[in-house]
Structure 1
Amino acid sequence: MKFMDKLPTVISCCFCCFLRAGTVMIATFSFIVGLIFAPNMNQTPGFWDMDAVLSNYSTATETAIQMTLGLISVVLCCVSVLLVIGACCNVPVLIEIYQWGVILYSSIVVFLFMILAISCFFIHTNCYLAGGALCALIIFDVLLTAYFVIVANSLRMSLKYLTNEELMI
């Protein structure tokens, strides 16, 4: 039995729409998030201004974080497209690829934000607000990712159940 098969399931997305429609909405949201952070890949000033937080190491650290976040955001865009295809064409394998891709994305984002938060709290003691905001973003990211994985898994499990040939009479 796979790890994803042991996750809890839901019968609807956001308590209001069917799993397939909710999964397509999740894929659209994930794709937009990926597009927002993807410009950071080209080393131009993106959505970050970390000079106040990382004044001594800002150039190397900012470049590394921007490149990593940009690359993983491109991966998020790709797996979001796979989720739409998997949800619309009834391909559970593509939904599972999305699940692992979004877990990878979330893990890397949590790691990067944790580095920045630790830097805010312990290296530069004048930016506690930024560190607190990063901790709040980490919690939000983990909870949102968990919900997205559970909804996508519910659709994947229902597709597996419906295509099971042993159930046909």
Structure 2
Amino acid sequence: MTLRPILIHPDPRLKKACPPVTEITDDLMQAAEDMLETMYDAPGVGLAAPQVGLLARMFVMDCVKDPEAAPRPMVLINPAVTWTSAETNVYEEGCLSIPEQYAEVTRPAEVRVRWTGLDGKEQEEHFTGLWATCAQHEIDHLDGKLFIDYLSPLKRQLITRKMEKLKRDRARG
């Protein structure tokens, strides 16, 4: 397994909609393993393929926060939301591509998502709480949308400027 570098906003690859995965290859399986390793190392609860420079409709997530509970790593290929609740939830979201920046985002409290697993079989699950928020956040990534796109233009601009500065500072070493 390899830790993959996570792209930092603004990066044009984070704003591109990803084409569907047409075939589950060894390379895709390796990418999924690497993404899980990268997500856990970061640490985060979700990571979408475009965040590691891979334009494919795939993301990984594991929203188990309890250190006593067994982890539940998930790989979702070509995910689609098939149902959303009318009830909403406000969650303070962050993003591995926008480090140390958080903002409240309102999304449906519950979602049903259908996807293809690494075994090629179609799956569907009803998500609530952090799992629902995470699944929607990662699917947004696959559509070229970031959580800051839900914020006011001013807040979005402030965060973008901070990220540009972070990238300059990192480039200087």
State the TM-score, normalized to the length of structure 2. 0.27
Q: Which has the larger radius of gyration?
A: 1
Larger helix proportion of the pair: 1
Larger strand proportion of the pair: 2
